[in-house]
Amino acid sequence: MSESAPPVLPSDASLRPVQAAEGLAPGVVADWLNWGAAELVGHSDSARADAEMLLAARLVVDRSQLRLRHEDTIEVATVLRYASCIERRKGGEPVAYIVGRQGFWTLELAVDTAVLIPRADTETLVEWAISVLPKQLPIVGRATPADPTDSGGRGPPYVLDLGTGSGAIALAIASERLDARVTATDVSEASLDVARENARLNGVSNVEFLRASWFEGVRKSPLPPGEGWVRDSAETERSVAPESLTPSPSPGGRGETSALFDLIVSNPPYIAEGDEHLAALRYEPRLALTSGPDGLDAVREIIRDAAQHLNAGGWLLLEHGHDQGAAVRALLESAGFVKIETRKDFGNNDRVTGGQKP
C-alpha cells in the first residue's frame, strides 16, 4: 500500500461509477488496482489480472509498465473511466472487448463485438500451419533437393484462412512467412473491416481479404501455367467475385492441373446450437460460434470442398471442439485425406485436426 493518503473508495460494492463520482478522490495506482480487483472477486476468475489490464488500458501503458508505476497518482477523470470499465467487467463483458485489444501470437489485434476474441489455443493451429508450409528458400542458394520441405522453386506458398474474424490466424501465418500469399475470408463484412485494420496496425501486407461464404467466391484451380493470383490494389479494397481476381506473373510455374492453395486453415464456428456454454459467450457474435445441431455443419462443408482448392500434398487444418476430434478425423478420411492427426491445445484438449491431400 502506498504511503500517500488512500483514495476515498466507494464502500458500497453495488455503487455505479457515476454515483461513485462524488466519493472518488485522486489515489495511487496500487490502491485503485486493489479496489478494482476486490470489486471483481466473484465476477471473474482472474480479478487481479483483469483490474491490471483495465487500468493499464486507461493509462495507455502495458501491464509491465503499470507495475513500475504503483505509486503514481491517477486523475479522477481516469479513475471514473476505469470504474466504468470495472462495472462493465462485473456485468460479464470480456476484458478484450472493453479495452478493444487482444494479444495473439506475436501480434496485438484490435477486437470489437463483430469478431470472436482470438484464443490462445488457436496458436496450436498456427504452429502446425507454419510447420507444414514448404520451407522458405534462402535468398542465396537453395535447400538440398532431397529435403522434402524444399519448395523447389515452385514459388510462394498460397494459404487460405476461412472465417478469419479478427484476422488472427491469417496475420500470424503471414507475419511469420513474408513470402506467403495469404487469402483471408469471412462472410461478415464487419469482421473483414476489423481484420483489414489489424493488417494495417501490424504492418502485414501479404494478406488479401475476401468476402465469401466458405468456398463460394474463392477461386480454385486451374490457373494458367506461369500465372499467379495477385489482385490489383483497387480490387483488394472491396468484396470481390472470383472472376475479378487478376492473374499476374508469378515465378511459380504451377501446372494447369494444380489448385491454388498449399494450405487451408480454418477455425470455423463449431458449437452446437443450444449448447449450454453459449450463455457465457453472449458478447461474441453468434455467427462465429454455432454451426448446426452438432456444431459440425461448417466443418462438413469445408472438408467436402477443400480438396478441389488444394494442391496435391497440400494440408487442411481445422480447429474444433474438445470432443469433436474423432468426428473430424472420420470426415477427413471419408474425403480422401491422408496423414490425419489430431493435436492438443495448451489445456491438453483435442483442438486441431488436419490431413494432407494425397
Where on the chain is the footprint of ligand SAM (CB under 6 A)?
Answer: 115-116, 118, 122, 162-166, 168-169, 185-188, 191, 213-214, 267-269, 287-288
Question: Closest separation between CB of residue 209 and ligand SAM, Å?
Answer: 12
Q: Cell 486523475 maps to which residue?
A: 75
Question: Closest separation between CB of residue 231 and ligand SAM, Å?
Answer: 19
Closer to ligand SAM by CB, 116 or 331: give it: 116
Closer to ligand SAM by CB, 16 or 286: give it: 286
User: What amino acid is encoded at 275 in this protein?
Assistant: D
CA 353 – CA 343 distance, rounded (Å): 6
* Cell numbers describing residue 331: 470426415
Question: Closest separation between CB of residue 168 and ligand SAM, Å?
Answer: 4
CA 26 – CA 73 distance, rounded (Å): 6
Closer to ligand SAM by CB, 154 or 320: give it: 320
User: What amino acid is encoded at 261 in this protein?
Assistant: F
Closer to ligand SAM by CB, 36 or 118: give it: 118
Closer to ligand SAM by CB, 47 or 303: give it: 303
Alpha-helical segments (H) within the chain = 17-20, 29-40, 47-59, 63-67, 76-90, 95-99, 123-132, 168-176, 189-201, 233-236, 297-309, 325-334
* Cell numbers describing residue 142: 537453395
Asked if 162 and 115 touch (Cβ cutoff 8 Å), the reply is: no
Question: Closest separation between CB of residue 299 and ligand SAM, Å?
Answer: 11
Question: Closest separation between CB of residue 97 and ligand SAM, Å?
Answer: 14
